[in-house]
Amino acid sequence: MSEILIAALPLLLLVGSLLLGFYPGCETALRLASRIASRAIGGPTRAAGQRRPRPPASHAARGGLLLAFGLSGRAPPA
């Protein structure tokens, strides 16, 4: 019985703090959001003629296409 209580204790503490009106991590989330917003608004600007260099094109199969290529040569099971 005590193992279940020990395992559920973090959940009970979180629910208790939420019911009491204390939201853990709220101030941190607000600071992070304001930091991200200040970078987006007052960040460095590029000149109109400058562009980011494009990454080289990759023609390698990835993800689902890689699986499709791998299975394409195999005959269906009998």
State the pTM of this model: 0.38
Residues 6+ positions from 17 with CB-CB distance below 8 Å: 23, 24
In this predicted structure, the answer to whether residue 37 has a pLDDT above a threshold of 70 is yes
Give tens-digit pLDDT for 63-78.
Answer: 787 788 777 776 777 7
In sequence order, which residues have a C-beta less than 8 Å from that of residue 61 and are 6 or more positions away?
68, 69
Q: Answer yes or no: are the C-beta atoms of 40 and 32 closer than 8 Å.
A: no
Q: In whole angstroms, how large is the CA radius of gyration of the chain?
A: 26
Query: Which segments of 1-78 does DSSP mark as H helices, in order?
Result: 2-19, 26-42, 64-72
Does residue 31 surpass a pLDDT of 70?
yes
